[in-house]
């Protein structure tokens, strides 16, 4: 599909576009590794990084193929550069040359993630996906999280079930768990965090343009370590052109993070 | 063999591994035959999709071993979700999806366990306190002895898998993009029953497809059944893709009222496999 009009590019970035650039930044220093985005905005951000800050990233179709180019969201690849069936994904996880950005139904003060179930594990109030690969990802390769709707129900004091392991629990489990534990970024529709706060806690790195620190505090279910927090950078003109005209001309991003 | 002859080989209380992955290349004709049987108290081992949803909804499962249950385009499997929230699966073992592979590998290699990092620090070990850790006998570069998860072997009485083509002896090939783990399921099991889209001559297996796609050897396979469209409504690429419209209908019924589910069952699951396929054709023509 051809883009709507180049006049769009004069407009300031939408929140979704700010998020895409923030996600891209999470992958910019990764070098030549397998970037594994789960979900739409992470896919957009990873592909944006591949076309700008980190062309060495290896990306897949989310099924079994490594894609040589950088196709638009959900488009068929023109050239395939490798084979990555699920069995090989597990090999790469253990090998470590991978950065996955997962979703999180809950993420807590200590950077633990939950995608298994809400409530008591024995009989949950809401059954979710299950642990998937989160326990293995978080003790083997770099892991980030994407939260499209920042709220106190997502950012909780303590997750109901630990699927993704934060740095504190990894250290408690010993060097076998801590050696490769690398929770890199938590990107939400409001802000960007890492887990280098005091006592291995979530630390606010930046607040998106148009969002106040108080708004982030109100939407977070635990006390935030934050003072003098900068504003998340706006996407460059080049990035906006790539997002709008190349990767996501159908504006799927706006459905996940409405303006 | 026929589908029903395969199911006649199964017994109450057996541990059954189901191949494929989520909503991909599941041996659904076998699953439907189990639904029609009076089998009960099964232990199911599956990277789960509608196979798990259907069997737990029917009350066939005493114990479920899984890492996820999902239909992908419908992320949360409604029958599984309902069963978990109602507490109707007596025993659940939720593993990391890589631990699941390691457990099958241990069984395939006739080992009691294999070591792995996955699970450390997570509630997989809290919710499964019977899963132990093991200390490495070897020092790491810092002189420490790492403690790792001793992933227990996932032994299977029977594995059920669906591939694209096989000969009548059980040599089988997949034609889609991913073998999934069907060979591993077969090696972790005492016996493996295979359904395929088409049974061909042995020579035909490598006519149009490279030899590397031959995933299963006859020495691992006890019985073969030809079940065209037998993975429906999951993918069986390139023979067919997922039937998204049907999956939406399934998910709506599974997540709906008891009478909506009863209507789905009456329309699609009351008869044998031929009746199912006829009902699916009729459903497709309604579009």
Query: Tens digit of pLDDT for each residue in A30-88?
Result: 999 999 999 999 999 999 999 999 999 999 999 999 999 999 998 887 899 999 999 99
Which pLDDT does position B287 carry in this prediction?
Answer: 72
Give chain A positions within 8 Å (CB) of B84. Answer: 117, 123-124, 127
Same domain for B67 and B175?
yes
Sheet of strand A106-108, all strands in order from the earlier edge strand to the far edge: A113-114, A106-108, A155-156
Average pLDDT, chain A: 95
What share of chain A has pLDDT > 70, as a percent?
Answer: 96
Q: Are B163 and B23 in the same domain?
A: yes
Closest CB to B94: pick one of A116, A140, A179: A116
Residue B161 within a domain? yes
Does the beta-carbon distance from B97 to A177 stay under 8 Å?
no
B90-108 mean pLDDT: 98
Query: Within a domain: residue B31?
Result: yes
Please identify which residue in the block is written with the tokens 């579009």.
B287
How much of chain B, in percent, has pLDDT values that exceed 70? Answer: 100
Q: Are B159 and B192 in contact (CB under 8 A)?
A: yes
Tell me, yes or no, whether B84 and B159 share the same domain. Answer: yes
Q: Structurally, how many domains does chain B consist of?
A: 2
Whether residues B143 and B162 share a domain: the answer is no
Domain ranges of chain A: 6-256
Residue A117: list chain B partners with CB under 8 A.
84
Residue B133 pLDDT > 60, yes or no? Answer: yes
Chain A residue with Cα closest to B105? A87
Query: Among all residues of chain A, which has the CA nearest to that of B118?
Result: A136
Residue B104 domain flag: no
pLDDT digits (tens, 9 = 90+) for A120-144: 999 999 999 999 999 999 999 999 9
Distance of alpha carbon A137 from alpha carbon A20, whole angstroms: 22
Return the SS3 of A48. helix
Residue among B86, B123, B148 minimizing CB distance to A162: B123
Query: What DSSP line would sit under A91-107, residue for residue?
Result: HHHHH--EEEEEE-SEE
Separation CA A82–CA A79 (nearest Å): 10
Taking the CA of residue B132 and the nearest CA in chain A, the distance in Å comes to 13
pLDDT at A3 (0 to 100):
42
Helical residues (DSSP H) of A73-225, grouped into ranges:
86-95, 134-138, 167-173, 175-178, 213-218
Buried/exposed code over A162-183 (b: 16+ C-beta within 10 A; e: otherwise) = bbbbbbbbbeebbbbbbbbbbb
- How many beta-carbon pairs below 8 A join chains A and B? 143
Q: Based on the domain organization, do B14 and B147 belong to the same domain? A: no
Domain A6-256 has CATH 3.40.50.1110: no
**Dist CA A203 CA A217 (whole Å):** 12
Contact list in A for residue B123 (CB cut-off 8 A) is 116, 121, 161-163
One domain, residues B144 and B197? no
Q: What is the pLDDT of residues B201-221, one digit of tens each?
A: 999 999 989 999 999 999 999
Query: A127 vs B85: CB contact, 8 Å cut-off?
Result: yes
| Residue range A165-183: mean pLDDT, rounded | 98
pLDDT-derived band at A10 (thresholds 50, 70, 90) equals low
B59 and B163 share a domain?
yes
Whether the per-residue pLDDT at B183 is higher than 60: the answer is yes
In this structure, the answer to whether residues B62 and B127 fall within a common structural domain is no
- A84-105 per-position pLDDT tens digit: 999 999 999 999 999 999 999 9
Nearest CA distance, A87 vs chain B (angstrom) = 7
Of all residues in chain A, the one with the smallest CA distance to B80 is A127
CB contact under 8 A, A132 and B96: yes
Nearest CB to A65: which of B84, B99, B177? B177
Q: How far apart are alpha carbons B118 and B9 in whole angstroms?
A: 35
Given the structure tokens 């998106």, which residue do they identify? A208
Average pLDDT of chain B is 97
Percentage of residues in chain B having pLDDT higher than 90: 99
Q: What is the pLDDT of residues B149-167, one digit of tens each?
A: 999 999 999 999 999 999 9
For residue B99, give the nearest of A136, A163, A179 by CB distance: A136
Assigned domain for B43 exists? yes
Residue B128 domain-assigned (yes or no): yes
What ipTM, to 2 d.p.?
0.96
Sort out which chain B residues have CB atoms less than 8 A from A177's CB and list them: 117, 120-121
Q: Are residues B146 and B23 in the same domain?
A: no
Q: How confident is the model over A216-252, as pLDDT tens digits?
A: 999 999 999 787 899 999 999 999 999 999 999 999 9
B275 assigned to some structural domain: no
Residues B9 and B30 in one domain: yes
| Domain hosting residue B180, numbered range | 3-95+154-243
């Amino acid at each position: 599909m051809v883009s709507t009009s180049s006049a769009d590019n004069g407009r300031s970035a939408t929140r979704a576009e700010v998020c895409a650039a923030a996600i891209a930044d999470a992958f910019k220093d990764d070098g030549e590794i397998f970037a594994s985005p789960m979900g739409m905005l992470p896919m957009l951000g990873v592909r944006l990084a591949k076309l700008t800050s980190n062309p060495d990233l290896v990306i897949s179709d989310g099924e079994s193929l490594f894609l040589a180019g950088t196709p638009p969201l959900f488009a068929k690849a023109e050239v395939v550069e490798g084979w990555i069936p699920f069995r090989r994904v597990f090999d790469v996880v253990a090998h470590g040359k991978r950065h996955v950005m997962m979703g999180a139904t809950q993420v807590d003060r200590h950077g633990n993630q939950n995608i298994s179930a809400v409530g008591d594990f024995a009989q949950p109030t809401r059954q979710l996906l299950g642990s998937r690969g989160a326990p293995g990802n978080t003790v083997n390769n770099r892991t980030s999280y994407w939260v499209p709707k920042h709220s106190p129900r997502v950012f909780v004091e303590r997750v109901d079930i630990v699927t993704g392991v934060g740095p504190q629990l990894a250290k408690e489990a010993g060097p076998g768990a801590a050696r490769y534990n690398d929770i890199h970024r938590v990107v939400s529709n409001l802000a960007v965090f890492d887990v280098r706060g005091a006592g291995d806690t979530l630390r606010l790195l930046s607040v998106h343009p148009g969002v106040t620190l108080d708004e982030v505090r109100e939407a977070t279910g635990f006390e935030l370590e934050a003072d003098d927090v900068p504003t998340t950078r706006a996407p460059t003109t080049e990035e906006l052109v790539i997002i709008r005209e190349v990767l996501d001309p159908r504006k799927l991003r706006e459905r996940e993070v409405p303006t | 063999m026929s589908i029903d002859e395969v199911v006649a080989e199964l017994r109450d209380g057996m541990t059954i591994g189901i191949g494929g992955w989520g909503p991909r290349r599941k041996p659904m004709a076998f699953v439907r035959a189990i639904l029609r049987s009076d089998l009960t108290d099964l232990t199911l081992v599956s990277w789960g999709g509608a196979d798990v949803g259907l069997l737990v909804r029917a009350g066939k499962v005493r114990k479920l071993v899984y890492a996820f249950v999902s239909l992908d385009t419908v992320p949360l499997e409604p029958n599984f979700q309902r069963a978990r929230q109602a507490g109707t699966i007596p025993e659940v073992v939720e593993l990391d999806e890589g631990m699941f592979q390691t457990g099958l590998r241990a069984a395939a290699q006739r080992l009691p366990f294999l070591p792995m990092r996955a699970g450390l620090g997570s509630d997989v070990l809290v919710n499964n306190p019977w899963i132990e850790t093991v200390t490495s006998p070897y020092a790491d570069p810092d002189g420490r002895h790492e403690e790792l998860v001793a992933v227990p072997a996932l032994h299977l009485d029977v594995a059920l898998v669906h591939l694209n083509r096989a000969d009548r002896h059980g040599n089988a090939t997949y034609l889609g993009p991913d073998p999934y783990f069907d060979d591993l399921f077969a090696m972790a099991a005492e016996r493996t029953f295979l359904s395929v889209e088409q049974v061909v001559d042995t020579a035909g297996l490598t006519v149009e497809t490279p030899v590397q796609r031959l995933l299963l050897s006859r020495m691992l396979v006890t019985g073969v059944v030809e079940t065209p469209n037998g993975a429906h409504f999951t993918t069986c690429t390139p023979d067919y893709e997922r039937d998204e419209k049907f999956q939406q209908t399934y998910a709506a019924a599974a997540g709906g009222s008891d009478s909506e589910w009863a209507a789905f069952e009456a329309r699609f699951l009351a008869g044998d496999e031929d009746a199912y396929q006829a009902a699916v054709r009729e459903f497709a023509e309604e579009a």
